[in-house]
Amino acid sequence: MRKIWNFASYNLLSLFSPPIGQEYWHCDMKRGFIKAKKRDPEVKALLEQDTTPQAIGLLAQQGVYEFHHDPLMLYRKDAIEKISATISLSQQSKIVQKRVTKVLENYHNHPFLLGKNIIQLNRGDEGFPKPILINYDNYTFNLYAAIDCIFKESDGTIHILDFKTGKSDFDRRQAYIYLLAAKYLYPKHEAVASFYNLETEVSSNVITATSNQLKAMLKQLIKISKKHQSQLKYYWRNKQEFNQIFPPNPGLPCRYCPFNSICEFSTIEVSA
């Protein structure tokens, strides 16, 4: 079968246009580093390091997985110690240990998924999700939707749940991408999506989408997928134009940018 390179995902969408309220952190050059220069050794090394928020998100999800992997774990008094050992929490920084332990305590006290008809619960470290091949308007692409959890409501509705950590708001566009994925994965079922923050224990509203809203999201994904592919192709032929293809936005975005140690436009002084 012919290999399809065209793709779209929530990650790609957020690299093109940040969620509402996070516009100040946007920089196109980050997408350039992540997608175009990802095999350059110094970029690759940076991409392989988990940032503190990434480590917390991943370990929190692994913790939830472990609570449900062994059906008796939720009832064990030493569940937090057991799971902390399973996910090697002691090898993490103090801040990661503290915040993930709080997640485990929260979840032990209020197991959000208890009693739900879970169809799929991921650990979060499975790698790339299986792509969903979509052909629309003469454009074929792979949609990647990394789904944390799927459960079935009592009326048969498919419920896609995304776990969050940290303070960022829920992004409705991500829910629409999950619902688009559900349309292909579960074509005979109604689907809804929601978010649950494992640190604050706050749930979003249950999000639904009309077929017009899904179509609009599909078109938006195709638009960014096409633009991304054409920029990548141009970059491969004109590597010296990296700065023009992926323009920098120095200033505030550099503060938490993973590339501020190697980016010539960074406004952050990195100690040697």
Give the binding site for ligand SF4 (CB under 6 A).
27, 29-30, 248-250, 253-254, 257, 259-260, 263, 265-266
Q: Closest approach of Cβ 24 to ligand SF4, in Å?
A: 11
Q: Give 108's contacts (C-beta < 8 A, 6+ positions apart).
A: 67, 74, 79, 80
Q: Closest approach of Cβ 204 to ligand SF4, in Å?
A: 28
Name the residue nearer to ligand SF4 (CB basis): 30 or 159. Answer: 30
Question: What tokens were used for 101?
Answer: 């332990």
Q: Closest approach of Cβ 6 to ligand SF4, in Å?
A: 25
Name the residue nearer to ligand SF4 (CB basis): 166 or 250. Answer: 250
Token pair 């959000």 in the structure block, residue: 112
Residue 220 CB-density burial (10 A; 0-12 exposed, 13-18 middle, 19+ buried): middle
Query: How many angstroms separate the CA atoms of 149 and 120, rounded?
Result: 5
H or E element that contains 63: helix 52-69
Q: Closest approach of Cβ 213 to ligand SF4, in Å?
A: 31
Name the residue nearer to ligand SF4 (CB basis): 220 or 267. Answer: 267
Name the residue nearer to ligand SF4 (CB basis): 30 or 108. Answer: 30
Name the residue nearer to ligand SF4 (CB basis): 5 or 256. Answer: 256
Query: How many angstroms separate the CA atoms of 36 and 47, rounded?
Result: 12
- DSSP 3-state assignment of 249? coil
Q: Give 188's contacts (C-beta < 8 A, 6+ positions apart).
A: none
- CA 175, 181, 183, 185 dihedral sign is negative
Name the residue nearer to ligand SF4 (CB basis): 29 or 150. Answer: 29
H or E element that contains 132: strand 132-136
Q: Closest approach of Cβ 259 to ligand SF4, in Å?
A: 5
Q: Closest approach of Cβ 270 to ligand SF4, in Å?
A: 10
Q: Is 138 left (phi over 0), alpha (psi -120 to 50) or beta?
A: left
Name the residue nearer to ligand SF4 (CB basis): 218 or 263. Answer: 263
Q: Closest approach of Cβ 67 to ligand SF4, in Å?
A: 37
